[in-house]
């Protein structure tokens, strides 16, 4: 690992090779605040693609790895080995890759879903706890500045008692049968052996669910779900409608779709309280609208004076200068860096109420996916997600 005094942490990446979907968001987000250097990687299993990526990124040849296991062992043995491993491979490989790095004593930031089932995710959470290592999960939407401000408002009671939550992550990217045309991202997302039958929930419903928990601080006590395949010929569910009973009986609904024809990204959340409601829409992420019972409406803008410290600490360029998806990844990585630097330098970790999602958040998300799957199989019966174990 890097030494005290080194102002940048060393990072290695698994996955995110040439042409991958999310790799570049991780790389640019990591580098945005000059707190990390990308020094090692196993970006693709194909040797040619690995070589191309390493050349493009200027990574030393002795830190280019054909295999993630070799990378974990070699980096752990180096005096200047990586402080953090980023995992951005398809879902079914997460458990073995994360395990390899945690067992080597290296902190991990893994893409969602953390595993393909809750048993796998629970093992990773337990392993990280046993080794006292950071394990983060890339539910990056909770790292937007205005999401943090929304969470602060709700936690400070600005909406009054919460009454209803409505969230949707309904995109239209797969409203045609991309998997039949060789689309790389569609290939594994539409394969039930890799992504599970409830693919749309594990892929994006889990983000929407995390946003509900992050904003409100409430957990899902029960879910009643219906999974559908809207696009003929598809082998997984591409649409999910889920009724939620949140902590204290607060009702909610969650719609996740990748077949919502004509929609772009489609992540939106509204939270209704006794005194006011709020709305945040990912395609206009710099704004947050609060509406009160008397009809008055406030449209908060990122960077304006007087917002919470949770929001203010995430601004870079000031009001009116658009910050978006890449900056959300940068915020996520900056929160992780705060903890890694503190641990490395032997100073107390500042624990913020609103920070990066942990392995436990990843586990709770998968328990939600499993509850949705079970409810759908039982004709939409109410199902209680298996609760996280004490201490996790």
Ligand X SMILES: NC(=O)c1ccc[n+]([C@@H]2O[C@H](COP(=O)([O-])OP(=O)(O)OC[C@H]3O[C@@H](n4cnc5c(N)ncnc54)[C@H](O)[C@@H]3O)[C@@H](O)[C@H]2O)c1
Interface residue list for ligand X (CB under 6 A): 14-17, 20-23, 42-45, 68, 88-91, 93, 111-112, 138, 140, 184-185, 203
Of the pair 29, 252, the CB lying nearest ligand X is at 29
Q: How many CB atoms lie within 10 A of CB 223?
A: 25
Rounded least distance, CB 11 to ligand X, Å: 15
Rounded least distance, CB 344 to ligand X, Å: 26
Number of helices and strands in the chain (H, E): 13, 13
| Cα–Cα distance, 361 to 134 (Å, whole number) | 13
Q: Tell me the three state secondary structure of residue 159.
A: coil
Q: How many CB atoms lie within 10 A of CB 196?
A: 23
Of the pair 199, 360, the CB lying nearest ligand X is at 199
Of the pair 83, 203, the CB lying nearest ligand X is at 203
Of the pair 42, 331, the CB lying nearest ligand X is at 42
Write out the E strands in the chain: 9-15, 36-42, 84-88, 107-110, 135-137, 162-170, 220-228, 239-246, 250-257, 267-273, 276-281, 287-292, 297-301
Of the pair 179, 203, the CB lying nearest ligand X is at 203
Rounded least distance, CB 367 to ligand X, Å: 17
Rounded least distance, CB 130 to ligand X, Å: 24
Q: Using an 8 Å Cβ cutoff, are 100 and 68 in contact? A: yes
Of 215, 214, 234, 237, nearest in space to 225 by CA: 237
| Cα–Cα distance, 365 to 291 (Å, whole number) | 29
| Cα–Cα distance, 281 to 193 (Å, whole number) | 32
Rounded least distance, CB 338 to ligand X, Å: 20
Of the pair 224, 327, the CB lying nearest ligand X is at 327
Rounded least distance, CB 378 to ligand X, Å: 26
| Cα–Cα distance, 361 to 136 (Å, whole number) | 9
CA dihedral (286, 153, 363, 107) positive or negative: positive
Rounded least distance, CB 16 to ligand X, Å: 6
Of the pair 246, 282, the CB lying nearest ligand X is at 282
Of the pair 72, 153, the CB lying nearest ligand X is at 72
Rounded least distance, CB 157 to ligand X, Å: 30
Q: Using an 8 Å Cβ cutoff, are 383 and 375 in contact? A: yes
How far CA 139 is from CA of 72, 295, 333, in Å, comes to: 24, 33, 11
User: Long-range contacts for 353-357 (Cβ within 8 Å, ≥24 apart)?
Assistant: 353/155, 354/148, 354/151, 354/152, 354/214, 354/310, 356/136, 356/143, 356/332, 357/136, 357/137, 357/138, 357/139, 357/142, 357/210, 357/214, 357/332
Rounded least distance, CB 177 to ligand X, Å: 18
Rounded least distance, CB 47 to ligand X, Å: 11
Of the pair 357, 385, the CB lying nearest ligand X is at 357
Of the pair 88, 211, the CB lying nearest ligand X is at 88
- The phi, psi pair for 233, rounded to 5°, reads 95, -10
List of residues 6+ apart from 336 with CB closer than 8 A: 84, 107, 109, 134, 136, 356
Our measurement of the distance from residue 383's CA atom to the centroid of its chain's CA atoms, rounded to an integer in Å, reads: 24
């Amino acid at each position: 690992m890097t030494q005290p005094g080194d102002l940048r942490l060393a990072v290695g990446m698994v996955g995110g090779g040439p042409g991958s979907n999310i790799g570049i968001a991780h790389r640019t987000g990591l580098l945005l605040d000059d707190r990390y250097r990308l020094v090692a990687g196993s970006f693709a299993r194909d040797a040619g693609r690995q070589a191309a990526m390493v050349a493009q990124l200027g990574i030393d040849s002795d830190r280019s790895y054909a295999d993630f296991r070799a990378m974990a062992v070699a980096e752990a043995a180096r005096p200047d080995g990586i402080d953090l491993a980023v995992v951005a491979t398809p879902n079914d490989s997460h458990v073995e890759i994360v395990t390899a790095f945690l067992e080597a004593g290296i902190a991990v930031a893994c893409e969602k879903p953390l595993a393909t089932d809750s048993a796998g995710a629970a093992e990773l959470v337990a392993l990280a706890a046993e080794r006292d290592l950071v394990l983060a999960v890339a539910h990056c939407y909770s790292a937007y500045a205005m999401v943090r401000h929304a969470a602060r408002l709700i936690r400070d009671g600005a909406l009054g008692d919460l009454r209803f939550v409505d969230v949707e992550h309904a995109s239209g990217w797969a409203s045609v049968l991309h998997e039949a045309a060789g689309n790389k991202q569609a290939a594994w997302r539409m394969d039930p052996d890799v992504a599970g039958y409830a693919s749309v929930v594990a892929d994006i419903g889990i983000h929407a669910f995390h946003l509900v928990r992050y904003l409100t601080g409430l957990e899902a006590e029960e879910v009643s779900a219906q999974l559908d395949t809207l696009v003929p010929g598809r082998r997984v569910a591409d649409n999910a409608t889920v009724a939620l009973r949140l902590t204290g009986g607060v009702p909610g609904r969650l719609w996740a779709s990748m077949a919502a024809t004509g929609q772009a990204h489609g992540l939106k959340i509204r939270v209704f309280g006794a005194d006011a409601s709020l709305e945040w829409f990912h395609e206009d992420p710099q704004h947050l609208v609060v509406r009160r019972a008397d009809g008055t409406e406030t449209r908060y803008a990122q960077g304006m004076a007087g917002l919470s410290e949770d929001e203010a600490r995430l601004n870079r360029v000031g009001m009116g200068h658009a910050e978006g998806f890449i900056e959300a990844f940068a915020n996520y990585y900056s929160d992780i860096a705060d903890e890694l630097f503190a641990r490395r330098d032997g100073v107390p970790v500042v624990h913020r109420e609103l920070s990066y999602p942990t392995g436990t958040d990843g586990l709770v998300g998968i328990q939600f996916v499993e509850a949705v799957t079970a409810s759908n199989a039982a004709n939409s019966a109410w199902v209680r997600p298996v609760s996280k174990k004490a201490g996790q």
